[in-house]
Each structure stands twice: as structure tokens, then as C-alpha cells.
Amino acid sequence: MASVASVSLLSEAEFGCEHLATQLTPAGTTADQFKSAFIKTHNALSPRPKPTELPSKQSASVRASALLRPKYTCLTCAEMCTDVGRKAHAQQTGHSFFAQKRRFSESSADELYVRSNANKRTCAKQGVRGLFNLGQTCYLNVILQTLLHDPILNTYFLGNGHQPHDCTVSDCVGCAVAEAFADFNSSDKAEGFAALSLLMASWRASSSLAGYHQQDAHEYYQFLVDKLHASTDGHQEDHEKGCSCFFHKTFYGKLRSSVTCDKCGNVTRTEDPMVDLSLDVQVQAKKRAMGRAGPSCLPTLSGCLESFTSPEKLMAGVYNCSGCGDTPQKATKQLRIKKLPAILCMQLKRYEHTFSVSEKLEGRIDFPLSINMLPYTTNPQPRVDKSRYMYDLLSAVVHKGKLDAGHYLVYCRQGDQWMCFNDDQVTPVSEADVLKADAYLLFYNIRSLAGAPQ
């Protein structure tokens, strides 16, 4: 019997995969038996004219066209039907031709499902692939590479979560992303590929994205999440109504703003959906310059999060208190995370815009491989299970150059190895290389879907 290793160099186009090749290459009757069984099965599925029908050119053409149509097997009685026939068969008998798609929820069963199915298929291509730059499209490439390396999204798209052949949306971004997942994981070629369908769908969906000019990767991420959410059947446009679709649960969190009147103590709370956290790095840099954070202390991600969730004083005239007869009052405002998403994007705001100048803050911001988000939520209780709030770094997007003439690259985790994706160039790097990067966007995955915070 031939081994998988001994036939690994054989043409995949000839056998489909190396595992099938081990069955067909040995001497004997195995290959002939397989061929005979295949022909027998094919002939059994082919529609045959009734005895009363006379052969004609028309009936021959109908039979030829029917041969090209896919056949479906009933899971209950094993009857073979075409697409039209299976619908009629299902209505008459109540039988099923496919298993119902699982709904996404935060449960231990979902976590097991992701762990069991997020790996690449045994016969599929392994490794990583770059993305060709189609004309200043590095902003798209870094975001798409991040999505392609996320285990939750791999489970969704490789498990037919969005099926383009059933989609009726014109220029659907969800279909284009599904195509990118298929190309990335199933192509026979090892070199980079072009996400042309996604680029075209993005251009048609947004006039501001159309054309070969510089775009912001953070803004493109927000655009892509919104379009993926809109591509899901049954999604809610109004986020306040509580959408239960896959993309809403994966990308969207909830932010709570609390304003407390300094005079009467009246508290006004509002909640808004969030797809990312925009953290002010300038505050950390200014503290360091003033010596308040220590002369040698780098700005940190935890410091940015603390500043983001720290109380902020509001002067009279900014806030009118309903408890004080809607009169202007001094108040204290505080932001906290009410609900965390499964994929958490954090933008380190490196750009400062004033009336006179726009500038970019250069330099490294210290960030960890793992982070506990509990202290920044509305539930910072000491007895809460901290493991429910642990996030692990998925990717780090870096912007090189100036505001109007720059380039994006991204570091992504591939199993236990880190890779640097510079368009179609892929380079292995160490964890130390990643942590030294001048990150602009950081993407973190929730460590466990079981018992994830609501």
C-alpha cells in the first residue's frame, strides 16, 4: 500500500488529494473497482426516458442538459433529485436534504464546535498566502488577512455560513468575503492571490472607496463589518432592537456612557453599539512628556484603556441636568464597556488634526499578547470569573510612512507561528518582533466562547 508521503508529489488535479491517490496507485483491481463503481453511480443518477417516449433530437438535448444539473440525495430515503425535484419531494414527504445550520450563541457547545471545525480540512492546502496589491489596496489586504486568520470566521465561512449561490443581494460584500475564504484555503497555487471581487464590491457599495487612492484601514474595517452585517438574512438594521445574527454577535459590542450631575447626583445613562475602541494615544504621550508617567515609560495599551474609561469633568453649558430643571450644571462623564464582542478591534489614534496642521504620532505603544478586559467593563467585581474576559492577540496592523503617503502591513498569528504580511510577501517573525511593532490597529479574540460576558 502506498503511503501519503510517497504520493504527496503526485498531481492533485489527477487524484483530488493525496489520500485518494494512495488508494488508486497500488497495483491490483482497486482503481478499476473505483472507476466501475463511479460509472455505475453516474448512470444511476442520469435521467432516463420513459419506455413510451421515442428518441428525438429534442429529448436528447433535454437529457444532455439534465446531466449537467447537480443531484441531491435525500437524507431520509436516499432518493436522488434535482434542485427543483428535491423541493417537491421535501414538500410531499417532509424529508430533508441537508442538516439545519447551527445558530451562533455563547455556549460551551459553540466553543467545542469552533475548536473542532476551525482547522483547515485534511485535504486542503496548508500554510499562508499573501494578497496582491491592486493599486494602493494595502488597506484592504491587512483587514482581509486579519479576517482570514480568525478561527471563528473560518468556522463560519468554510462551513457555508454565507452561501453565494443562495444569495440574491446585488454586489454582496458577504459573497465576496466568502469567495476570498474559499480562494485562500482551497486554491492549488501557493503564491499570493488577488481579492478582486471584494475590491469591486467595496467600490460599488461606497463611492468614497472607489478609485486608486489612499484609504484608512480602520475606516475600511468599519465599512466591512457593516456590510457583512447587512448581508445576513434576518439582521436588524436598528442595533438597539438587539440583532441576533452571527456578525452582530461576533463584531458588535455595547458601550455605556454615564453622566453624573455634580450638584444633585442625578445619573443619565445611554448605551450605544460599538465595533471598535478608538483610544487616544496622544494623552499617554503628553503625560510622558510632562513626566507624570515616568521619563522612560512607554505609552501602554492598558494606560490608553484606563484613560478611555476614567471619569471626565464636564463644564456647565455642556450638560443640562434633568434633575435640576434642565439647567446647565457641572457633571462627570464616564465610559464603560457594557458588552464585549468576540472579536475586539482597538484603534490606537496616531493622527492628530487641528485647524493648522495634521500630524502622525510615531513611536511604539506597548501592548500585550493577552489582555484582561474586565477592569474596563460595567462589571468590575472582584469575584467575577476573569477567564471570561480574557482576550488573545490575533493581529497587529502597522502603518508605515506619512499621513498622505504611507503603506500598511499586518502581523497575524498562524497556529503557534506569527507571520508578517506585506501584501503578497509573507515572512515568519517572532513574538518579540510583533510586540515591537508600531501598531495602529490591534485585533483580539475572546479566549473562550463558553460563558462569554453578555
Catalytic (active-site) positions: 138, 407
- Beta carbons within 10 angstroms of residue 167's beta carbon: 14
Distance CA 342, CA 335 (A): 20
Contact 220, 208 (CB under 8 A): no
Question: Hey, what amino acid is at 225?
Answer: V
Distance CA 162, CA 181 (A): 11
With both helix axes pointing from N to C terminus, report the angle between 108-117 and 151-158 in degrees, rounded to the nearest 10. 80
